[in-house]
Amino acid sequence: MSNTHDVMNLRQLEYFVAAVDAGTMTEASRRLYVSQSAISLSIAQLESSIDTQLLVRAKGQPLQLTEAGRRVLPRARALLAHAEQVRSFVKDEADVLRGSLVVGCTSLAAPFVLPELLKVFAERQPEIVVDFIEAPSDKLAESLASGRCEIALLYDQNRVHDIVVEPLRTGRPYAVFDPDHPLAGRGSVGLDELAPHPLIMLDNAPSREYHRALFAAAGFQPSVRHYVSTFDMAHALVSRGLGYATMLGWPSVDYSHGGRGLVQVPIHDDPLTNELVLAHSAAVQLSRRAQAFASSCRDIVPRL
């Protein structure tokens, strides 16, 4: 006769995923409004049912996944997502979509894409609660693989295996100058003209790799004066005449935070382009909510 505790169930998977996301049993119990002992017991029963340890527990230390736990985690997320789809199928009436959806967007494009996209999607699907992860493209690819988010907008330069992508928008580079820069009045500039001038470079992926490749492909080495982590800092330094910056995709603001003017000039010489793509894990069948979000992305992103 089988023991009912040896049968894996969705509640055990839910508690396992919640504990991993929270980092500790205590925090998971706070988020789920259940006792810590209930979560600990459920995870122990899950490990017993599959005869495998999933978590390393050490007093006073965050929970750590075992190698088996790392393999089980994305599958547990997929099972829970599928169970939610079944619930939604039963509960939804007609074409009304309900529930939650986690999406991702690369940090470099998020300020230009997410506000309008979230606004339009909320108008189209008011019953769907959207949360988003804003991160570099390589981190978003990891989030897709692990199931932390279901669908994401990222740059194609960071494409990885087992990620399905759909191009939405091609970005072309441009330079940002202060109005007194000698190249600020040009209709376009070449990389040979930019290379001798001091560059303010965004020091994050994929921007750093892209812009180094951009100059290298043309046979030039940029003269980097400062590395920065945000658009705002790059604009602030440029507006004070400390260098120029190269950006990709969307023309940015005409003024820095200090109210100083900025000038944007396209880069010619047939420069490298980089595509913003809609991406999801090849191992996951998109929910109806994610499919609806993808439809909005196709409508909105290309014309932003």
Q: DSSP labels for the chain?
A: ---GGGS--HHHHHHHHHHHHHSSHHHHHHHHTS-HHHHHHHHHHHHHHHT---EE--TTS--EE-HHHHHHHHHHHHHHHHHHHHHHHHH--TT---EEEEEEEETTTHHHHHHHHHHHHHHH-TTEEEEEEEE-HHHHHHHHHHTS-SEEEEEGGG--TTEEEEEEEEE-EEEEE-TTSTTTT-SSB-HHHHTTSEEEEE-STTHHHHHHHHHHHTT---EEEEEESSHHHHHHHHHTTS-EEEEESS---SB-TTS-B-EEEEB-SS---EEEEEEEETTSPPPHHHHHHHHHHHHHGGG-
Looking at the predicted structure, is the pLDDT value of residue 255 above 60?
Answer: no
Tell me which residue has tokens 């980097």.
Answer: 224
- The Cα–Cα gap between 194 and 223 comes to 9
Looking at the predicted structure, is the pLDDT value of residue 251 above 60?
Answer: no
pTM value is 0.63
**10 with 83: CB under 8 angstroms?**
yes
Under the banding of pLDDT at 50, 70 and 90, the label for residue 1 is very low
Q: What is the pLDDT of residues 33-83, one digit of tens each?
A: 999 999 999 999 999 999 999 999 988 899 999 999 999 999 999 999 998
Which is more confident, 88 or 95?
Answer: 88
**209 with 285: CB under 8 angstroms?**
no
Under the banding of pLDDT at 50, 70 and 90, the label for residue 214 is confident
Least confident range from 47-56, 147-156, 231-240, 246-255: namely 246-255
Pairing of strands 198-202, 223-228: parallel
- The Cα–Cα gap between 265 and 23 comes to 46
Under the banding of pLDDT at 50, 70 and 90, the label for residue 218 is confident
**304 with 112: CB under 8 angstroms?**
yes
Which is more confident, 164 or 272?
Answer: 164
pLDDT of res. 238: 93
What average pLDDT is seen over the chain? 87
Under the banding of pLDDT at 50, 70 and 90, the label for residue 112 is confident
Residue positions counted in the chain: 304
- The Cα–Cα gap between 241 and 258 comes to 13
Looking at the predicted structure, is the pLDDT value of residue 236 above 60?
Answer: yes
pLDDT of res. 19: 94
- The Cα–Cα gap between 280 and 151 comes to 5
